[in-house]
């Protein structure tokens, strides 16, 4: 059983949480034309790290807020908890972020390099 340190409610039992899987997956913008295979990298392909893994959790039976966790998938040790939309601060977790294969995918680049933002595109 994991004891998960919710950034808002403090340490709570794992049964109060839902796991949202790999963190930091950016959706490619609509105006970026990438291939189906590249889009699959965003939609289906997942990092499945043995070791330090950055993942999203939801305190579904508590404050109902999302947050990120840096957790070792082999020892289950929780290294760091950090808010959505930010990067981890610990060096090992930072390395885990920057060394992920995902950083080099076209899908991720297509999430950042669009000329217009998604909201502008809808106008």
Partner 1 sequence: MAQNQPDRGQRGLPGGSPRYSALALAKKAMNYHQDWQRAWRDPEPKSEYDAIIIGGGGHGLATAYYLAAVHGINNIAVIEKGWIGGGNTGRNTTIIRSNYLWDESAAIYEHSMKLWEGMTQDLNFNVMFSQRGVLTIAHSEHELREMSRRVHAIRLNGIDSEILGSAEIKKFVPTINIDQSIRYPVMGGFLQKRGGTARHDAVAWGYARAADDLGVDIIQKCEVTGLRRQGRKIIGVETSRGFIKTKKVGCVVAGHSSVVAAMAGIHLPVASRPLQALVSEPIKPILNTVIMSNAVHMYISQSDKGEMVLGAGVDKYNSYAQRGSFSVPEHMLAAAVELFPVLSRLRMLRHWGGIVDTCPDASPIISKTDIEGLYFDCGWGTGGFKATPGSGHVFADLIANDRPNKIAAPYTLDRFSSGLLIDEHGAAGVAH
Binding site for partner 1 (CB under 8 A): 1-2, 13-15, 18-19, 21, 35-37, 39-41, 43-50, 53, 55, 71, 73-76, 101
Q: Which is nearer to partner 1, 76 or 89 (CB)?
A: 76
CB 101 to partner 1: min, Å? 6
Q: Which is nearer to partner 1, 95 or 117 (CB)?
A: 95
CB 115 to partner 1: min, Å? 26
Q: What is the DSSP string of 35-85?
A: -HHHHHHHHT-----SSEEEEEEE-TTTT--EEEEEEETTT--EEEEE-TT
Question: Token match 């930091």: residue?
Answer: 24
């Amino acid at each position: 059983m994991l004891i998960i340190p919710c950034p808002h409610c403090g340490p709570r039992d794992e049964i109060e949480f839902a796991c949202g899987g790999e963190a930091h997956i950016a959706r490619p913008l609509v105006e970026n034309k990438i291939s189906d295979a590249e889009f699959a990298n965003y939609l289906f392909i997942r990092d499945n790290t043995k070791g330090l893994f950055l993942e999203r959790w939801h305190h579904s039976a508590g404050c109902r807020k999302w947050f990120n966790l840096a957790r070792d998938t082999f020892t289950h040790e929780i290294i760091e908890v950090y808010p959505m939309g930010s990067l981890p601060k610990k060096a090992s977790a930072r390395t885990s972020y920057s060394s992920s294969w995902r950083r080099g995918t076209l899908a991720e680049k297509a999430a950042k390099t669009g000329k217009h933002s998604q909201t502008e595109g809808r106008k």
